[in-house]
């Protein structure tokens, strides 16, 4: 597959040269996806029927809860992104297939665009080949060999384990997506590279309705390898839902320490922090970190590394989306900003080398449909010590936020100001969780929060491009 992609890419580069391109780059992707959503049959047995019918449904429950509704989607998403450069003008086009004729037509379209666009004074050249220094990538043949029926069975077992955890669970849903992808980058500067990979993302959801109260819990798994037994995800989602029963309203608006479980804090790093460490955003004056290299931007406990060579990283690959080898970059060390993330374009604006962080894809668009920009590979917040319970024991009067947050994507990515909603929230007093709270609004400033983090746990977990532990920050505003 990779050889076929590179052959098409080479033909496209030669075609661009014949049409008068000074430079050309072809990014090709072929991705097979299987997506399974499973709605557990338990929703038909608990709390929906009364009397004789209800008794009959309870007798049938062991059978019914294994007869949920599977929703299966599968397909191949293939395409090509083309950059053609003429007199420093960049033309870009994309094609949603890898048929040679269509790709060559795409090259012609990119050339037409390049010839009518104004020159980009910051353009220097495409990258040249370099030997990779990192991991070859992660490809698990078991993901390829597993059939759809097996994935449906795995998704069903998640829902069954969620329902079995507690009879108060009224709804259980799971979603499983597996991807097998092949990438290639070919350019006129002699880059001809390819890589392949596999990935699995699993989501489990459980809901409880009791005496007019409705609470829910969820669990996530990101992995590059096949994981056959996923039942613990269902159990964990139900546990998270059950522990939120009997909620109380926050007594008043308060400013207090807030503990973020790893899954919630990851969202700040993947969105606000990622935006601010992009070299392109620095150059375009879209980050508060401009002119702050070698300055303290976070608490001394904080060390953040972006490592595209991480052996088990979710975004690990030998090359970035411009064919530049992945690297390990220390971004923040002991709270001091040490580096930004560069793609080829932003690096050459400063006469520097790319850090191997060219990333394609935005707002759900396939990677081949957009031009590359600097982005995360595997951003890792270095763990320190203790689990979530240890962090709680160090807080006298505060809030614990578990699970995912609502609204991080609406934060001001530059200033870092945010107001998010947390649905799995707990009141903490004297180092103990005293009761769950109804959903709370939490407001503050991410950059200030980064400086005010007092404790970092060791319960690191991968959430795609970010791996981080739970953290405790000194003070944020919390309201009902």
Closest to 47 measured CA to CA, from 57, 60, 38, 39: 57
Q: Are residues 331 and 269 in the same domain?
A: yes
Q: Are residues 341 and 388 in the same domain?
A: yes
Position 238 scores a pLDDT of: 97
Position 69 scores a pLDDT of: 86
Q: Are residues 300 and 379 in the same domain?
A: yes
CA distances from 300 to 131, 296, 297, 332, 475 (A): 35, 8, 9, 10, 17
Neighbours of 271 (CB within 10 A): 18
193, β-bridge pairs: 185
Position 56 scores a pLDDT of: 45
Domain boundary among 242, 274, 305: 242
Q: Are residues 354 and 226 in the same domain?
A: no
Position 59 scores a pLDDT of: 46
Q: Are residues 11 and 43 in the same domain?
A: yes
How far, in Å, CA of 191 to CA of 177, rounded?
32
Q: Are residues 376 and 428 in the same domain?
A: yes
pTM here is: 0.93
Domain boundary among 219, 242, 265: 242
The count of domains in the chain is 2
Q: Are residues 292 and 228 in the same domain?
A: no
pLDDT per residue as tens, the chain (480 positions): 899 999 999 999 999 999 999 999 999 999 999 999 999 866 555 555 555 455 544 544 554 556 688 999 999 999 999 999 999 999 999 999 999 999 999 999 999 999 999 999 999 999 999 988 766 779 999 999 999 999 999 999 999 999 989 988 989 999 999 999 999 999 999 999 999 999 999 999 999 988 888 999 999 999 999 999 999 999 999 999 999 999 999 989 999 999 999 999 999 999 999 999 999 999 999 999 999 999 999 999 999 999 999 999 999 999 999 999 999 999 999 999 999 999 999 999 999 999 999 999 866 778 899 999 999 999 999 999 999 999 999 999 999 999 999 999 999 999 999 999 999 999 999 999 999 999 999 999 999 999 999 999 999 999 999 999 999 999 999 998
Q: Are residues 278 and 319 in the same domain?
A: yes
Let me know: does 117 contact 91? Beta carbons within 8 Å. yes
Position 52 scores a pLDDT of: 47
Q: What is the CATH number of the domain that holds 83?
A: 3.30.2290.10
Position 1 scores a pLDDT of: 86
How far, in Å, CA of 6 to CA of 186, rounded?
7
How far, in Å, CA of 242 to CA of 303, rounded?
35
465, β-bridge pairs: none
Handedness of CA 262, 325, 371, 11 (dihedral sign): negative
Q: Are residues 366 and 227 in the same domain?
A: no
Q: Are residues 238 and 251 in the same domain?
A: no
Domain boundary among 242, 271, 305: 242
Q: Are residues 307 and 450 in the same domain?
A: yes
DSSP 98-135: --HHHHHHHHHHHHHHHHHSPP-TT-----------S-
What is the maximal distance between C-alpha atoms in the chain?
A: 80
Closest to 361 measured CA to CA, from 77, 67, 52, 32: 77
The single-letter DSSP state of residue 270 is I
Q: Which domain holds residue 298?
A: 247-480
Q: Are residues 321 and 362 in the same domain?
A: yes
């Amino acid at each position: 597959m990779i050889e076929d992609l590179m052959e098409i890419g080479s033909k496209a580069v030669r075609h661009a040269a014949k049409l008068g391109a000074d430079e050309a780059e072809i990014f090709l992707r072929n991705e097979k996806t299987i997506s399974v959503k499973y709605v557990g049959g338990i929703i038909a047995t608990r709390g929906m029927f009364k009397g004789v019918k209800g008794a009959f449904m309870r007798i049938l429950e062991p059978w019914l809860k294994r007869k949920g509704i599977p929703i299966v989607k599968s397909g191949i998403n293939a395409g090509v992104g083309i950059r053609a450069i003429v007199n420093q003008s960049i033309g870009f086009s994309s094609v949603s297939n890898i048929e040679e004729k269509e790709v060559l037509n795409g090259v012609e379209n990119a050339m037409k665009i390049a010839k009518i666009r104004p020159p980009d004074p910051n353009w220097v050249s495409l990258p040249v080949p370099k030997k990779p220094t990192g991991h070859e990538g992660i490809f698990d043949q078991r993901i390829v060999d597993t059939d759809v029926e097996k994935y449906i069975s795995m998704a069903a077992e998640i829902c069954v384990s969620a329902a079995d955890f507690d009879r108060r669970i009224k709804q259980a849903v799971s979603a499983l997506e597996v991807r097998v992808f092949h990438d290639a980058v070919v350019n006129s500067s002699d880059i001809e590279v390819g890589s392949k990979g596999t990935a699995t993302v699993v989501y489990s959801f459980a809901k409880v309705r009791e005496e007019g109260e409705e609470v829910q819990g969820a669990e996530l798994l990101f992995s590059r390898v096949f994981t056959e037994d996923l039942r613990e995800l269902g159990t964990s989602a139900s546990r998270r839902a059950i522990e939120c029963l009997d909620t109380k309203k926050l007594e008043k608006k308060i400013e207090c320490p807030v503990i973020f479980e790893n899954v919630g804090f990851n969202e700040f790093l993947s969105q606000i922090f990622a935006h601010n460490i992009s070299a392109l955003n620095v150059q375009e004056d879209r980050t508060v970190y401009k002119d702050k290299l070698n300055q303290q931007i976070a608490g001394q406990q904080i060390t953040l590394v972006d490592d595209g060579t991480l052996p088990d990283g979710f975004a690990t690959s030998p090359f970035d989306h411009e064919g530049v080898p992945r690297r390990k970059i220390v971004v923040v060390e002991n709270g001091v900003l040490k580096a930004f993330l560069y793609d080829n374009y932003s690096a050459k604006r400063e006469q520097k080398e790319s850090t191997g962080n060219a990333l394609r894809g935005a707002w759900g668009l396939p990677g081949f449909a957009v031009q590359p920009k600097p982005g995360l590979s595997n951003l890792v917040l270095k763990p320190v010590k203790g689990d979530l319970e240890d962090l709680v024991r160090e807080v006298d009067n505060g809030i614990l936020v578990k699970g995912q947050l609502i609204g991080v994507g609406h934060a001001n990515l530059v200033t870092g100001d945010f107001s998010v909603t947390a649905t799995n929230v707990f009141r903490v007093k004297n180092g103990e969780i005293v009761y769950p709270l109804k959903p709370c609004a939490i407001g503050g400033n991410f950059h200030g929060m980064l400086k005010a983090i007092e404790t970092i746990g060791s319960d690191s977990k991968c959430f795609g491009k970010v791996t981080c532990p739970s953290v405790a920050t000194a003070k944020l505003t919390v309201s009902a």
